[in-house]
Structure 1
């Protein structure tokens, strides 16, 4: 049991360090906050796209989950009462249709989740996903990014 806790603690440190190391690269393209209608059909369709291609994400996660040249993120809905925020988590494990990771975003209105908190996200709850390959300077997924950037400019 003690070894398992040590491994989880070590993994959290590795992922937090990797997140900080690459934060400046992502900062320029990141979207801070975008307010959308709850029935925004175009945004909701991105979940269908992400789910249709989630096998590609899982197939890449399995061999590269602990490789610091990669970063695997999933976006999901976090809820507190009637408040919802769609935010990102870094994931490093997939088992029994569930991703294990750490919360990597900053909630605006939710108080029940903090950056670095451990998360379990069911495959069916994934609204978007992204794979950053720092060795090749490429990324995959992140289907909603361009749409959210266009909405941010109009707000």
Structure 2
């Protein structure tokens, strides 16, 4: 995600409660799931809350939502990463990194930012695991808790 103030800083995602912000991250994950476009099973992991580096941990937080997707059959993953690389930009995501990682398996990774939603996603195709799967991590920008509210950590 880019921010006009400091390209190295995590952008502001606005003011929100952690519960509402977690819902936004889950919605982003759900929209990405729809773009995967094949049948399969997802992990049942929930969103979590973490602090924003260098900011008051009582006022600022980020949401992260890790999950995985396992297709109904292994060969269904063929072409999914290329399809996501094409489809994500049509839905407000900007692909900022794509290609093999440095692991022995040379897993294909895709990182995309959605500046409007203030979320980023990293998708790793674990093609050589048994069964093959996708590993996804959706991360929000830095939220500020509303005045008078406390950050709920989960």
TM-score (normalised: structure 1): 0.32
* Greater fraction of residues in helix: 1
Q: Which has the higher contact order (CA 8 A, sep 6+)?
A: 2
Which structure is larger by alpha-carbon Rg, 1 or 2?
2
TM-score (normalised: structure 2): 0.33
